[in-house]
Amino acid sequence: MTSVSIPIDSGFVIRYIDAGNALPDIRALKPVMLERLALGPGMRLLELGCGAGDDARASARHLRGDGRVVGIDAVATLVAEATRRSLGSHLPVEFRVGDALALDLPDGTFDRCRIERLLMHVDGDPARAVAEAARVLRPGGRAVVFDFDWDAFVIDGADREVTRRIVRSFSDGIRNGWVGRALPRLVADAGLEDVTVLPHGVAIPYDFFGWLVSSHLDSALAAGLFTPTELIAWWDQLDAAHAGGGFFAALLGFVVTGTKPTDGARGRP
The residue ranges of every structural domain in the chain are: 10-259
For β-strands 93-97 and 68-73, DSSP reports them as parallel
pLDDT at 264: 52
pLDDT at 64: 84
Whole-angstrom distance, CA of residue 231 vs CA of residue 238: 11
Whole-angstrom distance, CA of residue 208 vs CA of residue 116: 19
SS (H, E, C) the chain: CCCCCCCCCHHHHHHHHHHHHHCHHHHHHHHHHHHHHCCCCCCEEEEECCCCCHHHHHHHCCCCCCCEEEEEECCHHHHHHHHHHHCCCCCCEEEEECCCCCCCCCCCCEEEEEEECCCCCCCCCHHHHHHHHHHHEEEEEEEEEEEEEEEEEEEECCCHHHHHHHHHHHHHHCCCCCHHHHHHHHHHHCCCEEEEEEEEEEECCHHHHHHHHHHHHHHHHHCCCCCHHHHHHHHHHHHHHHHCCCCEEEEEEEEEEEECCCCCCCCCC
pLDDT in tens, 185-212: 999 999 999 999 999 999 999 999 999 9
The angle formed by the CA atoms of residues 265, 256 and 201, to the nearest 5 degrees, is 170
Please name which of 222, 229, 211, 230 lies closest in space to residue 160, comparing C-alpha atoms.
Answer: 230
Number of other CB atoms surrounding residue 228 within 10 Å: 8
pLDDT at 11: 80
Please name which of 47, 135, 134, 129 lies closest in space to residue 94, comparing C-alpha atoms.
Answer: 47
pLDDT at 269: 37
User: Mean pLDDT per segment of 10 residues, for the chain of length 269 residues?
Assistant: 44 90 98 97 97 96 93 96 95 97 97 98 97 98 98 97 96 96 98 98 97 92 94 97 96 98 59
pLDDT at 6: 35
Identity of the residue numbered 140: G
pLDDT at 267: 43
| 10-259 has CATH 3.30.420.40 classification | no
